Copies of this chain bind each other. A is one copy, B any other.
Amino acid sequence: MTSGMTPGAIDRLIGLLARLPGLGPRSARRAALHLLKKRDGLMLPLAETLAEAARQIKPCATCGNLDVADPCGICTDERRDRSVLCVVEDVADLWALERAAVFRGRYHVLGGTLSALDGVGPDDLNIAALVARARGGEVREIILALNATVDGQTTAHYVTDRLAGSGIAVSRLAHGVPVGGELDYLDDGTLAAALKARRSV
């Protein structure tokens, strides 16, 4: 028993909450207790919203985004530039770019990165669909917005290879000093990249 106490429903609740990222057994107990104390204001609305979202939200067959509609709201938005695709690992990255409101093209969500260690190969990712979209004739530029990790960069190289000869311009995000970042806290790799890509002022 997770709580050491009897009530099965509480133990099940704590067990499920503990499976959320960022919550361990202890914070799951706190969250369960908080929910039980805010039954009408939080617990029941959360139960309903979870059920509703589980029913309504599905992946977009075109880009992999999560939305109530398929194709998703971004793919069907006529104000967005259909000639530029931004390739991201995960829907969380798409959300981050949308929050920044800096990109007005469309997206392609790979659903992860290649990883020899975790046994993730090209067929496990949404890469074939990306190549098909690239060949569709509409796309002129593909921006690889993948994480600057070993797996992210391996995936970027692989995708670049697969797109070679398609005549599409492939770019990646710039490396450098984060805005607001202090040099003293940056790693050597970032400093080297920022120095190499210096811009005249």
Contact = CB atoms under 8 A, between A and B. Distances in A.
A7 B57 contact: yes
Contacts of A44: 50-51, 54
Contacts of A5: 67, 73, 94-95, 98
Interface in A1-15: 3-10, 12-13
A177 to B, nearest CB: 22
A49 interface: yes
Given A7-B67, A68-B7, A49 B19 contact: no
Interface string A1-40: 0011111111011001101111100010111111110010
Interface string A77-114: 00000000000001110111011110000000000000
A173 interface: no
B95 A29 contact: yes
Interface in A133-174: none
Contacts of A95: 3-5, 29
A115 interface: no
Secondary structure type dominating chain A contacts: helix
Contact of A68 (B9, B17, B42): B9
Interface residues of A, number: 56
Contacts of A35: 20, 50, 53-54
A66 interface: yes
Contacts of A17: 20, 46
A142 B23 CA distance: 35
Interface of A: 3-10, 12-13, 16-17, 19-23, 27, 29-36, 39, 42-54, 56-57, 66-68, 73, 90-92, 94-96, 98-101
Given A5-B67, A7-B67, A21-B31, 4 more contacts: A4-B95, A4-B96, A6-B73, A47-B48
